[in-house]
């Protein structure tokens, strides 16, 4: 039996299904590094960034910031084109905080991709405290040039106590305000959350999903906490190891979160990617496709579906 929003064995609303249904062909995200920084690194809000964040601003697989953006894009596109010569592309500004600049700088960064052949969308990763009315007004105008236009907000957790532990340096209220501004501009919102943050149990992780159900979000990324070299959290873990979710625990929690999540919210990521050279723990996250396959199989065995426990 196929899920309402899928035609495969998946029992959740996958991004692949959404894009293939709309464009009737393969669509790839092309991660780029536009050399932005972050208010949680330059001292405006904090120093050192979120405790889990890599030196590359969570853009470990984004392009080389030493190369111009269009060259970064061409490098990836040429590789993909050899296998899928008729694919479409979504340019993904992934590393650091991609609205942390004057609008003039944003225009220089984003607008060269308007009208570029086979580019059907743009996705911009940022922080909620780097969203304001002026920026949203610009993004609203920019969005009219693309068939898909997304803004990704890093939330990680609804809990302020956890947020302080991970040095997030913005409040949940700031997150909700950013969602409100973007939604009023009809901009699609993706929310990034992390499972396995220190001090959080299953109920807390599910409660983050339940709170998000009340907001007008388009998509979600459910990431497992990765402990990386050269991060604050990595240094803490080396001094005193703390509990990390096992593969089995993550699978069970992710399935429960999917069951509680509204059925129309699109799953943009389950698990996540890490650079093996910089990963301290857990090592099982390197087998991303295996983990996703296990989630799919277990949901089938349980006859579980996204949204079936939505209240």
Pairing of strands 148-156, 188-195: parallel
Q: Extract the tokens encoding 129.
A: 């405290």
Q: Output the CA–CA distances (angstroms, integers) from residue 168 to 46, 253, 266, in the order listed.
A: 9, 23, 25
Report pLDDT digits (tens) over 120-170.
999 999 999 999 999 999 999 999 999 999 999 999 999 999 999 999 999
pTM: 0.94
Pairing of strands 279-281, 119-126: unpaired
Q: Would you state the pLDDT for residue 8?
A: 74
Q: Would you state the pLDDT for residue 56?
A: 64
Q: Measure the CA–CA gap between 212 and 209, rounded to whole angstroms.
A: 5
Q: Would you state the pLDDT for residue 60?
A: 57
Q: Provide the phi-psi class of 115: left if phi over 0, else alpha when psi is between -120 and 50, else beta.
A: left
Fold that domain 15-302 belongs to in CATH: TIM Barrel (3.20.20)
First to last CA, the chain: 23
Residues 223/195, Cβ–Cβ less than 8 Å: yes
Sequence-distant (≥ 6) Cβ neighbours of residue 298 within 8 angstroms: 251, 255, 304
Q: Would you state the pLDDT for residue 211?
A: 98
Q: Would you state the pLDDT for residue 84?
A: 81
Q: Output the CA–CA distances (angstroms, integers) from residue 142 to 50, 110, 129, 217, 264, in the order listed.
A: 29, 8, 20, 19, 25
Q: Measure the CA–CA gap between 171 and 214, rounded to whole angstroms.
A: 17
Residues 99/150, Cβ–Cβ less than 8 Å: no
Q: Extract the tokens encoding 179.
A: 């969602």
Phi/psi at 252 (nearest 5 deg)?
Answer: -65, -40
Closest CA to 200 of 191, 208, 192, 212: 208
Q: Extract the tokens encoding 201.
A: 């149990």
Phi/psi at 155 (nearest 5 deg)?
Answer: -110, -50
Q: What angle do CA 193, 198, 202 make, to 5 degrees?
A: 65
Instruction: Establish whether the linkage from the previous residue to 282 is cis, with ω within 30° of 0.
Output: yes
Closest CA to 6 of 301, 302, 309, 300: 300
Torsion, CA 134, CA 137, CA 139, CA 145, rounded to 10: -150
Q: Would you state the pLDDT for residue 58?
A: 60
Q: Would you state the pLDDT for residue 88?
A: 94
Which residues in the chain show pLDDT less than 50? 1
Closest CA to 219 of 201, 197, 192: 192
Q: Would you state the pLDDT for residue 262?
A: 96
Report pLDDT digits (tens) over 230-270.
899 999 999 999 999 999 999 999 999 999 999 999 999 99
Residues 112/70, Cβ–Cβ less than 8 Å: yes
Q: Would you state the pLDDT for residue 2?
A: 57
């Amino acid at each position: 039996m196929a899920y309402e929003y899928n035609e495969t064995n998946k029992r959740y609303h996958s991004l692949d299904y959404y894009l293939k249904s709309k464009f009737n062909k393969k669509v790839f995200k092309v991660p780029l590094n536009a050399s932005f920084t972050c208010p949680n690194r330059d001292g405006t809000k904090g120093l050192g960034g979120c405790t889990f964040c890599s030196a590359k601003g969570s853009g470990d697989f984004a392009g080389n910031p030493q190369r111009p953006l269009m060259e970064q894009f061409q490098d990836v596109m040429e590789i993909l084109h050899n296998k899928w010569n008729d694919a479409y592309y979504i340019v993904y500004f992934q590393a650091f905080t991609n609205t942390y600049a004057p609008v003039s700088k944003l225009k220089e960064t984003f607008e060269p991709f308007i009208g570029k052949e086979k580019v059907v969308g743009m996705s911009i990763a940022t922080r909620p405290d780097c969203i304001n009315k002026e920026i949203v007004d610009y993004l609203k105008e920019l969005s009219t040039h693309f068939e898909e236009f997304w803004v990704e907000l890093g939330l990680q957790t609804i809990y302020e106590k956890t947020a302080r532990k991970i040095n997030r340096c913005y409040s949940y209220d700031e997150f909700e305000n950013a969602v409100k501004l973007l939604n009023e501009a009809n901009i699609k919102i993706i929310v990034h959350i992390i499972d396995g943050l220190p001090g959080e149990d299953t109920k807390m992780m599910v409660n983050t999903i339940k709170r998000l159900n009340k907001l007008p979000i388009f998509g979600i990324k459910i990431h497992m906490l990765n402990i990386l070299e050269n991060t604050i959290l990595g240094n803490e873990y080396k001094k005193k190891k703390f509990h990390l979710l096992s593969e089995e625990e993550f699978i069970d929690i992710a399935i429960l979160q999917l069951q509680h999540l509204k059925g129309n919210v699109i799953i943009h990521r389950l698990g996540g990617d890490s650079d093996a050279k910089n990963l301290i723990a857990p090592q099982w996250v390197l087998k991303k496709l295996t983990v996703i396959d296990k989630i799919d199989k277990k949901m089938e065995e349980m006859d579980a579906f996204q949204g079936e426990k939505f209240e």
